[in-house]
Amino acid sequence: MFESIEANPSLTASHQDEVMHKNVESKQQSNRMLYAGMIAKMNCMLNKLNKFTGSVMTSPIMTQNSEAKVEQYGTGRLLTLKTNTSSEHTLPTTSDLTKHEIKYVENTSSEFLVNGTKRLIMISPSSEAPVFHRKHSESPAQFLIHVQEYVKSVRLYDRLTLVNGISQFLRESALEWYCQLRLSYRQPQTWEEFTELFLAQFNTPIRRARQETEWEQKPNETETDLVKHLLCRIRNDLFNMIRISRNASLDEIIAEIQQVEDILYRRAKDEQLSNQLEQLSLQKIETLPNRRYNKCDSHKTTPRLIRTIIELMANENYYQTMYSQYVGPIDIAIKSICKNHTFSELYEIAALCNVLQCNIRSIYPKIDFQHYTALWQSVFTTVPPVIAKYSIAILWSHAQNENDARIMNNSTWSPNHFVPLLSLNSQNESNDYYNSMLIYSAVQIRIPEYQSSPSRRVRIDDSIEKDPAEPIISGSVQNRKTDQENQRQIQLEKKRQRNRSSRMSETEEQRQIRLEKARERNRSIRMNDTE
């Protein structure tokens, strides 16, 4: 950048003087706007007093201890004028201020006569404007925040005006950097552009390294001095949380700070989780992927889902110890539960026992049964001190039949939803959905068997025939089975007719081939039965 400036012959010393003169004019304009606002406030107060008294009055200002400092721009000299006068005049306007002189009056009090009584009005001095010198001890980010707050306080908060007059807050090398931007025609036009350039220029890794060096213990510095330096640099909110004396050792302070960090981490984690729960409550939650269960009222499922998540957080250690070796860490499970359209797992079933105050019997079909699935074929109970009031039973199921489910899942079967298992007595007693899920006594539960092969189906049928205890089937179930059997007989009859017609139209050669295939099929069946 410096080479480009030196290479440009048009950037002369007179040009730099012109730029500095513009900076001075911008400062004067800002100061005039500042005092114009103060004068407007005073005139507004006078108008209110005039309305209160019902008379029009001027403002006899009694100046006491007035010591005015006149700053003359261009020379940098400060002139001190001591006066002890009393004069009656109206408040001046912006045009009454001289162009190159602005008076800063400290400890000024104004007295007004209202119905013969003096009213004293104190004018507080203006706050000091923030400046930036490019020292490594200064924070660029804090400077940007202080500048915006300062312009807000003087009612000059306008991003465009702030960008154009930002040079009055810069000093020394920082001001030189901004002037170079102007000379190279790279002056930022918006506040966002200035912020980006400012932080890229002054918030460098070198500055951060210098700050880290300040935190290091010096060669001649004792541990007591380091502790004092450390306590002075800690933020006020963190310092109030550290319950330790100033005479503590460095190791004690570090241990206390680690505890504070752990507390802050837990607060942030709880706040993040509460935000996720709040977003979750505003969304439409479909807790089960089956179409039948998507028809459930979300006003009933959402509170139970949120209570389940809270239960997992409250008894996190218990569930982590019991089930983490089977289904993984509990914190990952809680995050997945908060997401929409996710499947329920073992953690949700175990936590739902405390939410519903019941025992849940989980029944897993014996299809592709493995040793780890034995846990899902068990009864989940409540965690003390919660006492179970009733028991329910659920079956791990799939929305499609076994063969289609295997085709979609690489020849393996896995459930994708739960279905409730109802006893025949409770179903006949009431049609209410809630009451149909309660099992108040030990009753036999019908568990449907899933067929995986024709031979297995035959063995199951034989066992059913040998079993003398047959369940009582209602009339509707019997009618449905009868209809299915009739449809099966009709399909078999149609198949026989097709085979009969094909045999009548076949040739002698085709007949011999068919008979040979039948003999081979019967031979293989007999060999399998012998084995």
The reported pLDDT for the residue numbered 14 is 59
Shortest CA distance to 305 belongs to which of 280, 332, 276? 280
Shortest CA distance to 398 belongs to which of 389, 390, 388, 408? 408
Entry pTM? 0.29
DSSP state of 166: G
The reported pLDDT for the residue numbered 17 is 67
Q: What's the CA gap between 84 and 431, in Å, rounded? A: 99
Shortest CA distance to 315 belongs to which of 355, 283, 287? 355
The reported pLDDT for the residue numbered 506 is 76
The reported pLDDT for the residue numbered 102 is 41
Q: Using CB atoms within 10 A of its CB, is residue 286 exposed (0-12), middle (13-18) or buried (19+)? A: middle
The reported pLDDT for the residue numbered 181 is 82
Other Cβ atoms less than 10 A from the Cβ of 397: the count is: 18
Q: What's the CA gap between 409 and 453, in Å, rounded? A: 18
The reported pLDDT for the residue numbered 156 is 56
Q: Which residues of 477-509 are buried (b: 16+ CB within 10 A; e: fewer)?
A: eeeeeeeeeeeeeeeeeeeeeeeeeeeeeeeee
The reported pLDDT for the residue numbered 58 is 46
CB 231, CB 250: distance < 8 Å: no
Query: For the segment 173-205, what is each residue's pLDDT rounded down to a tens digit?
Result: 788 888 888 888 778 888 888 888 888 877 777
Give the residue ranges of the chain where pLDDT is below 50.
1-7, 9-11, 55-110, 112, 114, 122-125, 284-295, 427, 429-430, 433-474
Q: What is the mean pLDDT of the chain?
A: 66
Query: For the segment 487-525, what is each residue's pLDDT rounded down to a tens digit?
Result: 778 888 877 777 777 777 778 888 888 888 888 887 877
Tokens 């932080």 — which residue?
A: 199
DSSP state of 54: T
